Amino acid sequence: MSAALPVLRLADLARSGRGGVLPLELALASAGVLRLEAWLRVLPGRRYVGRGVWRDAAGERRQVLAKLLVGKKAARQFAQEQNGAGLLAAQGLPTPTLLAAECGADGGWLLFEFLENARVPGVESIDEAVRAIARLHERGLWQEDLHPDNLLAQDGQLCFVDGGGIRAETPGQALSPKRALENLGMFYAQWPIRMEAGLSGALASYCAQNPASGAGMSVSALQKAVTRQRRSRLRDWLKKIARECSSFCVREKSASGFCVVRRDAEKILSPLLKNPDAFINAGHLYKTGGAATVARVEVGGRTFVLKRYNIKHFRHALSRCWRRSRAWRAWREGNRLLALGIPTAKPLALVERRWFWFSGVAYLVTEYLPGEDILRRLQAEDALATPAANVAEIAAVGALFADLLRARLSHGDMKGHNLIWQEEEACWALIDLDAMRAHRQAATFERAHQRDCKRFLRNWPPDSPLSRYFSGLIK
């Protein structure tokens, strides 16, 4: 290990906030010194997960995944992690080997083998992931917070990680159908909402691997479980977008302003957030004046879209001051779409100017999406004459409207400039989310959805081939 680095203890780590500057060395009592090289997840003052190098009892340097637990709940979390790892190993399920562990007065630590070149399974591997979950349930275990990140693919095998969430009903005996159904619903709720179209095939794969737990399961019951879990997780996620957490940083929250930014974009966007008007003035203007000003801006060699929500006059200020800003709505709905897997420009930061907590001018920063809008993409003469020439683009329209139907979302302004073609993913991304709304009631959603459909069709002449084609498609 490098002698130039200071050697810290768990108590020092607990006082370091987000973990301090890496690399650093951590004394692990009976296990020597761990050199930490990268943080993978940090919950300040509670849990630190990182990649590091450790010299084992035989003197061999090994890449390890370190889980460092501090704070009041450290002992309980340590016991859960150790017990979960033991349950997985005892049932013969693939999981990283626990190399060393210890818990003391300052907290606990666990060192696992680091899975080189492992990856989170993608959409193309969802059937394989469902079969792995069926094997977990077949052995009487379930993952309390089951999501794709808790499965890692390596050398053609899916490994279970995060033993702290592993629970047992009766180890070695198949999980009860009710528990299995809820756990499988939780897993599916993490994926893009369009994946719900494949629930029938997923259930068939599950039952083939674990018929005991799958007995009595139906597609409709699984759909209800997915909907419940998705609604719950989405509600929790939307609470996080306005507070300090691992994903977001709140830079200001006072009577004079509010500013929240994605943590991974905070550093690069810091100059812009201090003076957004200067970047608008120096950027490429898409829209000026009126209710909003939109510009493409450059920051640190990267391109973003910055939208300023203007206050037009005193009466306009009065009408807005007691409501959430339109920037906030766009921020919330953009994060909602991302959570649902519906393509949109990723919202990166929100800035609100306030006067004694009353809303004033607000700013929204999103990623820049290159690509043509649907009017330009399909306005060519050959597209109007032969819609079949644009199979991918037209199919993607149907997929987008299907996603909005499943999620009960209305956009509110489906003009062509708000749908941007993404060539690599072969999909349409929705932008300009100021009027987007999530509906609880089927009747209000139906009316709003019909308005979206009618506005979308008005992008082309009523008697054009595309208008007629889309009219049948979106119905």
Residue range(s) in the chain whose domain bears CATH number 1.10.510: 123-240, 374-474
Look at residue 386 and tell me whether its pLDDT is greater than 90.
no
The CATH fold assigned to 7-113 is: Phosphorylase Kinase; domain 1 (3.30.200)
For the stretch 196-248, pLDDT in tens is 999 999 999 999 999 999 988 999 999 999 999 999 999 999 999 999 998 99
Domain 123-240, CATH among 3.30.70, 2.70.98, 3.40.50, 1.10.510: 1.10.510
Structure tokens at 383: 């597209």
Using CA atoms, how far apart are residues 203 and 415, in angstroms rounded to an integer? Answer: 38
**For the stretch 381-416, what's the b/e string if a residue is b when 16 or more beta carbons lie within 10 angstroms of its beta carbon?**
eebbeebeebeebbebbebbbebbebbbbbbbbbeb
Q: What is the pLDDT of residue 15?
A: 85
CATH of domain 374-474: 1.10.510
Average pLDDT over residues 366-374: 96
- Measuring CA to CA, which residue among 114, 150, 113, 116 is closest to residue 133? 150
Confidence (pTM): 0.89
Mean pLDDT (the chain) is 91
DSSP string of 186-225, one letter each residue = HHHTTS-GGGGGGHHHHHHHHHHH-HHHHTT--HHHHHHH
For the stretch 418-441, pLDDT in tens is 999 999 999 999 999 999 999 999
Residue 188, Cβ neighbours under 10 Å: how many? 26
Q: What is the DSSP letter of 344?
A: B
Residue range(s) in the chain whose domain bears CATH number 3.30.200: 7-113, 248-367
For the stretch 301-352, pLDDT in tens is 999 999 999 876 545 555 556 667 899 999 999 999 999 999 999 999 999 9
The CATH fold assigned to 248-367 is: Phosphorylase Kinase; domain 1 (3.30.200)
With residue 393 as reference, give the H or E element that holds it: helix 391-407
Please name the residue that has the structure tokens 């009316």: 447
For the stretch 154-199, pLDDT in tens is 988 999 999 999 999 999 999 999 999 999 999 999 999 999 999 9
